[in-house]
Amino acid sequence: MIKVVIADRMGKGQKVGQGVEAAGGQAIVVPGMGADMRLGKVMNDEKADMGISFCGSGGAGALTASNQFGYPERHGMRSIQEGITAIEDGKTVLGFGFMDKEELGKKLVETFAKKYPDKA
């Protein structure tokens, strides 16, 4: 099962989590304001496969996770297709502007499962 940590600057992420679970993944939504800055630590603690960060710029949490733990990241994304492409390019930490949509979580887990079938 693909384990995904979701961390939103405003403490949201529940809809993305529903999409992750609809695609057969396990969603861990980091609670509270500023959750995006804790993404890397929670990913590391939970031994997660993928992390999704949300903030206004779409970068802070993803960059912090990459700097702290070396996760390959892409940030500043604003569409589902950008996230799909990032996974196809080998990124495991994805930084988006605010986009708490169920479809995003579902498509990202489906793409991750195709890229890494041994983790699905």
pLDDT digits (tens, 9 = 90+) for 63-119: 999 999 999 999 999 999 999 999 999 999 999 999 999 999 999 999 999 999 998
Length of the chain: 120
Q: Please tell me the distance from the alpha carbon of residue 20 to that of residue 32, in angstroms, as a whole number.
A: 20
Q: What is the pLDDT of residues 11-46, one digit of tens each?
A: 899 999 999 999 999 999 999 999 999 999 999 999
Burial of 70 (C-beta count, 10 Å sphere; 0-12/13-18/19+): exposed
What the chain holds in terms of domains, given with CATH numbers, is 3-115 (3.40.1400.10)
> Helices 39-46 and 60-69, interaxial angle, to 10°?
50
According to the model, what pLDDT value does residue 58 have? 84
> Helices 102-115 and 80-88, interaxial angle, to 10°?
20
According to the model, what pLDDT value does residue 120 have? 83
Report whether 28 contacts 73 (CB < 8 A): no
Distance of CA 89 to the CA centre of its chain: 15
Is residue 59 predicted with pLDDT exceeding 90? Answer: no
Q: Please tell me the distance from the alpha carbon of residue 24 to that of residue 100, in angstroms, as a whole number.
A: 18
Q: Please tell me the distance from the alpha carbon of residue 118 to that of residue 101, in angstroms, as a whole number.
A: 26
pTM: 0.96
